[in-house]
């Protein structure tokens, strides 16, 4: 679809604001509007001046219903409970939805999948193009290397992140599990403390670090006797997530109902 209208829910959040700022300056799409939660200071302000530019004549609303009716695609980097609600709104309005919100639980994902039967929804743990290529490489490595290679997923984020492990770390664990043909929930080692005993063969371990303003560091380590393979990605700026989200939103515009991923965007 040429020049799709893209809306943003949660425009005062870190990612929401950056995405709205990028959409305001792009020539290949247009900013349809934005919302914030009821009672937020941003509600009622002109979206353009809120973003530090000229007035756009678009007031930031607190009811996303009108935004979903006006936009071709809406981008959501909010919270799990809001993302599920927005998926249902998107299905009702026939508007495509990109969900970059992390911390989604299996029940949330099931509801989003149901909504995707009626509209196009792209759900991504991470919208960086590089991270999504990393996911494919991790799956390939896990499929090729024998079980004697222990798999560990390490991630670090800024001190304000509220969920752990990160959605990207979980996606990397899922990619490794797919490569081995196993279920992550049956082989994941989420934490180690005290006398844990020797590492179990076949486990996929997770380690979580928090501190400072780290945008996102992820590594997957394949460790065996005599060698170690490390695949990783470091984001020095959230701009890579913003660029990926806008690229994905433009790709999603006009797509038929269904549940999509960044692998579809990249043609992997």
| pLDDT average, residue stretch 58-70 | 95
**What are the beta bridge partners of residue 221?**
152, 230
Backbone φ and ψ for 151, nearest 5 degrees, come out as: -110, 125
Region 111-123: what's the mean pLDDT? 98
> Above 90 in pLDDT, residue 102?
no
> pLDDT higher for 89 or 103?
89
What number is the average pLDDT over the span 201-222?
96
157 given a catalytic annotation: yes
Work out the average pLDDT over 65-82: 96
| 16-21: Cβ within 8 A, 24+ apart | 16/75, 16/77, 16/78, 17/51, 18/238, 18/239, 18/242, 19/75, 19/77, 19/242, 19/245, 19/246, 20/47, 20/51, 21/51, 21/52
Per-residue pLDDT, 211: 97
Q: What is the pLDDT of residue 268?
A: 85
Q: What percent of the chain has pLDDT over 90?
A: 95
Tell me: the pLDDT tens digits for 148-202? 999 999 999 999 999 999 989 999 999 999 999 999 999 999 999 999 999 999 9
Burial of 218 (0-12, 13-18, 19+ CB in 10 A): buried
The DSSP symbol for 5 reads E
Is residue 73 classed as helix, strand or coil in its secondary structure?
strand
- What integer pLDDT is reported at residue 125 of this predicted model? 86
Q: What is the mean pLDDT of the chain?
A: 96
Alpha-carbon distance 28 to 207, whole Å? 40
Segment 46-74 shows an average pLDDT of 96
Active-site option among 161, 193, 218, 255: 161
Catalytic residue, candidates 157, 158, 218, 255? 157
Q: Is the predicted pLDDT of residue 1 greater than 90, yes or no?
A: no
Residues 33-52, mean pLDDT to the nearest whole number: 96
Domains with residue ranges and CATH for the chain = 5-123+239-266 (3.40.50.720), 129-235 (3.30.360.10)
Does 218 score more than 90 pLDDT? Answer: yes
Joined together, the tokens standing for residue 14 give: 């870190």
Q: C-alpha angle 142/100/222, rounded to 5°?
A: 15
pLDDT tens track for 14-28: 999 999 999 999 999
Catalytic residue flag (residue 161): yes
- So what's the pLDDT on residue 103? 86
């Amino acid at each position: 679809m040429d020049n799709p209208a893209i809306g943003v829910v949660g425009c005062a959040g870190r990612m929401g604001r950056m995405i709205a700022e990028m959409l305001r300056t792009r020539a290949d799409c247009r900013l349809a509007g934005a919302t914030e939660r009821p009672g937020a200071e941003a509600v009622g302000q002109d979206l353009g001046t809120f973003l530090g530019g000229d007035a756009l004549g678009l007031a930031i609303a607190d009811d996303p219903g009108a935004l979903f009716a006006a936009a071709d695609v809406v981008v959501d980097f909010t919270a799990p409970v809001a993302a599920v609600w927005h998926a249902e709104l998107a299905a009702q309005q026939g508007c495509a939805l990109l969900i970059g919100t992390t911390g989604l639980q299996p029940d949330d994902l099931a509801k989003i999948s149901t909504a995707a039967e009626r509209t196009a929804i792209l759900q991504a743990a991470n919208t960086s193009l590089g991270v999504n290529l990393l996911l494919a490489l991790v799956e390939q490595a896990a499929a090729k290397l024998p079980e004697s290679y222990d798999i560990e997923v390490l991630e670090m984020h800024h001190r304000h992140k509220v969920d752990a492990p990160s959605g990207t770390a979980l996606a990397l664990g899922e990619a490794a599990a797919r490569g081995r043909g196993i279920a992550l929930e049956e082989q994941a080692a989420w934490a180690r403390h005290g006398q844990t005993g020797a590492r179990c063969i076949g486990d996929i371990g997770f380690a979580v670090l928090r501190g400072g303003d780290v945008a996102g560091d992820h590594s997957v380590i394949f460790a065996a006797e005599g060698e170690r393979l490390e695949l990783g990605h470091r984001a020095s700026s959230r701009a890579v997530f913003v660029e990926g989200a806008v690229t994905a939103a433009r790709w999603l515009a006009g797509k038929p109902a269904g549940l999509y991923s960044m692998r579809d965007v990249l043609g992997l």
